[in-house]
Amino acid sequence: MGSTSSTLSKIPNAEELSQETGFTSAHLARLFERFEALDKDKKGYLSPQDFEAIKELALNPICDRIIGAFFSSGQEMLDFSSFVRILAHFRPIDNNRPKEPNSPDPINSRINKLKFAFQLYDQDKDGKISRNELLQVLRAMLEKQVTEEQLESIADRTIQEADLDRDDAISFEEFRKSLEKVNIDHKMSIRFLR
């Protein structure tokens, strides 16, 4: 229990952040509390180690990639605004927000959610998921007992299905097309309980 206004006053640029990410002030305050709880040494920013300390995250097969998504520009310090901007990708899509013709897509648009997922695969950020990158993800998600051949055949099949221009890699467009019918809003969104 507490008043939102006193937590919000600790957040720099709360108003703009709320506008940019679409989080309500109440949700921003909750996320700020979470940010402070994760920042055990009270540094004012988060480091990859703070993420690794989250037990549930540590058992996720692709935890390194998810953590990497937060620290994508290579820096080792994550401030609150960047933290929230990344999490904004997972806000449920608001269908009632009118789309202004020339404004950029909101962070949580379908396209941006797909881009976020794409970068989990495309680690070298060249805009394509190469065969090798696909193999690396498969290696991470599957157990050690799965053989190289099995991995290769899975990778082959996946590329075959999605790769339309036959360049042996999956571009973002091909990725998007292949997942056209998936309910991205439901699968890549996190809802606050209140």
Partner 1 sequence: MEGSYWDLVLLVMEVWLFVVLGLIVLPAMFGVSLGFTDLYIKVLVKTLEWATRRIQRGQKEQDTLPAHLPNGIIERNDDSMEEQIVELRRSHPKFHSVGDFTLCDAFYFCKKGIESIVDDEVTQRFTSEELVSWNLLTRTNINFHYISVRVTIIWGLGLFIRYCILLPLRVTLAAIGLSWLVIGTTLVGLLPNSNVKNWLSDVIHMTCYRICARGLSARIRYHSKENRPKKGGICVANHTSPIDIVILANDGCYAMVGQIHGGLMGVIQRSMVRSCPHVWFERSEMKDRHAVAKRLKDHIADKSKQPILIFPEGTCINNTSVMMFKKGSFEIGGTIYPVAIKYDPQFGDAFWNSGKYNMVSYLLRMMTSWAIVCNVWYLPPMSIQDGEDAVHFANRVKSAIALQGGLMDLSWDGGLKREKVKQSFKEEQQKMYSSMIVGQD
Q: List contacts with partner 1 (CB under 8 A).
A: 1-7, 25-26, 29-31, 34, 37-38, 51-63, 66, 87, 90, 116-117, 120-121, 137-138, 141-146, 150, 154, 157-158, 161-162, 170, 175, 178-184, 187-188, 190-194
Q: Which is nearer to partner 1, 20 or 151 (CB)?
A: 151
Q: Which is nearer to partner 1, 125 or 181 (CB)?
A: 181
CB of 98 to partner 1, least distance (A): 25
Tell me the C-alpha distance between 108 and 94, whole Å.
Answer: 9
Q: Which is nearer to partner 1, 2 or 98 (CB)?
A: 2
CB of 183 to partner 1, least distance (A): 6
Structure tokens at 71: 């620290």
CB of 51 to partner 1, least distance (A): 7
The DSSP bridge partners found for residue 128 are 171
CB 148 within 8 A of CB 136: no
Tell me the C-alpha distance between 11 and 84, whole Å.
Answer: 11
Tell me the C-alpha distance between 32 and 29, whole Å.
Answer: 5
Name the nearest CA neighbour of 192 among 33, 57, 47, 46: 33
CB of 125 to partner 1, least distance (A): 16
